Structure formats: C-alpha cells, structure tokens
Structure 1
Amino acid sequence: MERWRIIKAFTLGSLLEAAIPKPGNVNRYVDFEDLTLYHFIFAETWIIDILHEATKIGDQLRRGTYRLNEAGIGELIKRAVQNTREVQDANPNFGIVALQIPLVIALSMSRNMLEARDCVRRLLDESTVRDTMELYRAIRIANPKGIPSGVKYDVYSDDSFRELFRDGINLKRLAEISCERELIFCEWLNGYELSYKTFARLYELTKEMTLEEAVQGAFVELLAENTDTLIVRKAGKEEAELVKERAREVLEGRLTLEEFDAFLRGKKDLRNPGSLADIMTIALGLFVLKGYRLTREP
C-alpha cells in the first residue's frame, strides 16, 4: 500500500481520536489535570518520521531486502516514545505507538488492509528477544500508569533483560504472557481483531450519522463489550466491570451520554478508558486509510 497515505491516515486518526469528545477521555472540551489535548497533538505529530521509517521497512520486507526478524519493531517503538518525550512531559500515546508500529509496517508490505493482519502475525512470530528488550526500554521511558511490579519479567527489574534473553522471550511470547493484563498484546496476537471490528462499525455508522456521532456510538459499544485493561491496572477489576455496566445502560437508554461521561470522570482519571481509546485510534486510522472523506453538512 502507498506509504504516505498510510502515514497521513494514522496521524490523522490519532488526532481525531484525541479531539472528538468521547466519554471519560481527554478531548477538545475537557482535559485531565496532568494530560491535555495539546500533549496528544505534540506527541502524535512528533512521531511522523518514525511512521515514515516503519513504512520504508515494510517496503523493504515486501521486496525481500529485509528479513522479517530484521524489522526492528521494538527499536522503532522505543524511538517513537523518545520522540514524544522531546516535546511534551506526559505519556499520551505509548499504547497508540505500540499498536501503530507493527501495523504500519504490515500495511506497507501488504497488497491490502486485510492481508496486513496476517503480516502482523508473521512479524511477531519472527520478532527477536532484542525487540522485547527495546520495548522494555520504551516502557521505562513512557512510564505508563499501573504497570505491575513483582511479576515475571518485571519491566522495572534490573534482572529482566537477563531473564528475557535466557528464556528467549520475543514479542509474540511476551504478548502471550501479558495478553490478560494488557489489551494491546491481545491485538498483536489476534491480528488486530478488535481494531478492525471497530473500523467496520465506524464505516457502518457513518452512513447515517456524523463522524463524531459515529465515534461516540462505537466507543460506548466498545466499553459495553470489552474490559478496559488500563482501568483494571489503575482502579481494579470491579471498577472496570462497573464501567462496562454503565456503558450498557447508555446503549439501553437508561443513562445519557452526559451522565456516563460524568460517572467516568467521577474519580479523576481512574476510570479513564485508555486501552479502548487506543483501539479507537487504530480504527480511525484504518477508517481514514480506507478513504473516508470529510464533507460539509447539508
């Protein structure tokens, strides 16, 4: 697929996700105390060069100049995180970057969007222990909230790199170990199933409503059907289940979108559905890549 089209689509998708008012998230109307819309704008714009490099690697893989195990997914993720730190002081996009990089490479080496799903799986199969080590370095730089300590292959343990090397833990193996506690890894393993499903839902909804309305509707559906792992890490499983229940009430008409938003913000950012917001970001990138064109309202 055409490289610059991919870059533009995923950059715009990221900015749209941050700007559109979705319940519980930073948007153009509401900030958190330590995270604003500007953090997203600065961070996402500052990784364009890394997305461009990812498309170049995908093109080389398609041509056979590189082998799959030379893709360098972990290093690209680390460098993207370093870029975001150059221009702002928060962690607005680690999950987005971790999802974007493998998919952008896969799209660049594929004939179409569906073929890319299989390419992602092959990239992860052939990833290396070094990729995992570089991912760990990226996590340490980004310092996401709620990362557990004391677990096997602890990100912040000085022994983790030796253990990863000893056990041969590449990105696929890490994802298998960590899928239960982080949605990003599940997406890696299942070929971005939820992201593609959400993209298809956006395509369907925008036939009858505005892009903003479609994103809001699809996002509530995401929250009603899936557990947000960021909420689990920050606030616990009970809170995450409560968020799902409230989202179902919105779909059933027993709770307004405004009431749901107020509920999510009732404990500052503890109920912020960040993992599923990352899914929406990728879905919007795919949606733009498919050819969505903004038109003036009649």
Structure 2
Amino acid sequence: MAGKRKYIHEHAEPKDVQLHIQTACLWEATARKVGNVHRYADFAGTTYLDFTLSAAAVAKPLDRAMYGWPFGRVLLDAVKETRRVCGQNTNLGILLLLLPLLYCDENHYAIPRFIAKLDLDTTKDVFEAIRIAHPGGLGDAAEQDVNQEPTVTLSEAMKLAADRDRIAKQYATGFADVFEFGVPAFLAAFAKFGRIESAVIECQLKWLAAFPDSLIARKNDGAVADDVQRRAAAVLNVGGLDTPEGRRAGVELDAHLRSDGNKLNPGTTADLVTACLFVALRDDKVKPADPFRWAVPDWL
C-alpha cells in the first residue's frame, strides 16, 4: 500500500493534477466519438451532464493520490462522489486507469512495481468500489468474483481478469497499451489535425480497430465485440476522418452502435482514451487551451 509522501515532483502543483484530470475527462466526454455519450448525444439513462458532473466530482479525491493516500481509499472516495453527484457509474474504468498513473507520475516504468505492492486490503477496497459502481454487464467470475470476499492481491486479481477486461490487462502489463499504442495514436492525430476533438475521435477509432471493446463483450459476447472491431477497421481502411468516405463510414458505424440502446457502447475504449489524454496533458504534450472543436459538416 502506498505510504505517506510529499508531491512526487516539486513543480507539480495540486491544481495542475486536478486540472489535468478534469480536462482529460471533459475532452473525452465532449468529443463526438462513435457510440458514446457526447454533447450532442445522450443515452436514455445517462447524459452528457452526468459525465461533466463526474469530472468535477472526482478530481479532488484523485488528487489525494499525490499525497500518498491509500489506493483503495482514494478509489472508494471517488466512486462514492460520483454516485453522490449523478447517481450512477460513469467513470469506474477511468478511475482504475488514472490511479496508477497518478501514484507513479511520469515514471511509468514504476507502475508494475507499484501494483505488485498493493495488498489484500487494497483488493477488498477495489472490490467494494466495483460493487458500488455496479458496471454494466459485470456478471459472475469463476475466480475472485467481486461479489465475494477476495483472497488475493490486486495484481493477482487483475491478472485473472486480464483475458476478458482491457483495463485489467493494463494492470497485468504495466499499462503497455496506453503508453505504446494509445498515447502515440492520440499525439499523432493531434499533430495531423491540430484539433483535440478530431484527435480524440481518431484515437478512439484506432483503439476500436485494434482491440475488441471489453464492455461490448460483457454486455453481448465476444463475437459482437469482434464485429465492432472489424467495422472500426473498415472505417480506417477507407480513410477514417481524413476522407469523405471514411467520415461517412464513421457516421454509419455510430448509427450501428446506437441501434440497440447502449448495448454496443464502447465504454472500455472511452476509459482507455481518457487515460491517454491524461498522460498527454501530464507530460505537457498538449495543453487545456489547445484548439478543441473539429469543424466539419459531415460528422456527427
């Protein structure tokens, strides 16, 4: 469990951490990504306002990680604050991804060692937080089910879930997908477009094309998630956001993902994108004041 300590590096003011958390969450929620809630598209029971309120609510609890507050305590507080302000789970995956990034700061090579030191009490807190958040399609697990008392460390529990959950896989691999795939994809898109929104959308499409979305798989099955992966790859294959054909294919993909309520909502991908945005902000690769709006007439 993390011990008490001062800020990890002296130049990082607490307001910067909170600003980066809020900005990453708001950028992700605001960008017109396919199949997700955004400022022009709500779900029946979840609105864009829910995500903006959640971004405001969790920044202060998460900032406590920079003071060395216990991992499980920080997660529980953030989940409870989310419940308090919007009454539902909008950000459990985001919280699970941001916390190791906060504790280890810019030294992402320290993440595996940090996770390995989290003890059984931390697992109990994490399981309680998951039960409170009650994410969609959770179901039962053959080993270390979150509805039961855990008997292993968090690292071991995440390894057991890594083959069915992309967020758990980050814990098992030192966040390799985030640092080696997601952040470079976002930064390359920002360099190309010069707009945060289009960079977020392209980053999402590349995630969807590369990896089946875990939330879609839980709510449906692996074959459905694989089908969405193929459809996202097809959007990129005809040019993605760079061409009228690619944008038209993206609009069609969005319509497909919204065709059955929110059962095809790529929520895990959205969480992973948020983690990438936070890393880019924290590492000063982008700034909150960078141009956001992607002004094209043929997108969502």
Per the shorter chain, which TM-score range? 0.7 to 0.9
In the alignment of these two chains, the number of paired residues is 269
Identify unmatched segments of 5+ residues in structure 1: 58-70, 108-112
Contact 2:144 2:157 in 1 (8 A): no
Contact 2:27 2:197 in 1 (8 A): no
Contact 2:21 2:59 in 1 (8 A): no
Aligned counterparts of 2:39 and 2:91: Cα–Cα separation in 1: 16
Aligned counterparts of 2:226 and 2:184: Cα–Cα separation in 1: 25
Contact 1:34 1:90 in 2 (8 A): no
Give the TM-score normalised by structure 2: 0.85
Q: Counterpart amino acid of 2:51?
A: F
Output aligned runs, 1:160-199, within 5 Å.
160-161=148-149, 164-165=150-151, 169-196=152-179, 197-199=181-183
Instruction: Compute the RMSD of aligned alpha carbons.
Output: 1.6
Output aligned runs, 1:259-270, within 5 Å.
259-270=252-263
Aligned counterparts of 1:56 and 1:235: Cα–Cα separation in 2: 40
Output aligned runs, 1:39-118, within 5 Å.
39-57=50-68, 72-107=70-105, 113=106, 115=107, 117-118=108-109
Deviates more, 1:205-214 or 1:1-10: 1-10
Aligned counterparts of 1:227 and 1:76: Cα–Cα separation in 2: 29
Contact 1:3 1:52 in 2 (8 A): no
Aligned counterparts of 2:206 and 2:100: Cα–Cα separation in 1: 26
Matched, 1:128 2:126: no
**Cα-to-partner distance string for 1:139-197 (whole Å, 9 max, x where unaligned):** 111011111226222222xxx22xx34xxx11100011111111111111222122222
**Cα-to-partner distance string for 1:180-217 (whole Å, 9 max, x where unaligned):** 11111111122212222211222122122022111111
Aligned counterparts of 2:58 and 2:21: Cα–Cα separation in 1: 11
Matched, 1:228 2:213: yes
Residues 217, 150 of structure 1: alpha-carbon distance in 2 compared, 3 angstrom cutoff: closer
Q: Counterpart amino acid of 1:123?
A: F
Output aligned runs, 1:200-239, within 5 Å.
200-209=184-193, 210-239=195-224
Deviates more, 1:144-153 or 1:123-132: 144-153
Corresponding residue of 2:296: none
Q: CA deviation at 1:295?
A: 4.4
Question: Whose relative contact order is higher, 1 or 2, with alpha carbons under 8 Å and at least 6 apart?
Answer: 1
Contact 1:131 1:171 in 2 (8 A): yes
Identify unmatched segments of 5+ residues in structure 2: 1-8, 239-244, 294-300
Give the TM-score normalised by structure 1: 0.86
Q: Counterpart amino acid of 1:260?
A: L
Q: Counterpart amino acid of 1:181?
A: R
Percent sequence identity is 26
Aligned counterparts of 1:143 and 1:217: Cα–Cα separation in 2: 29
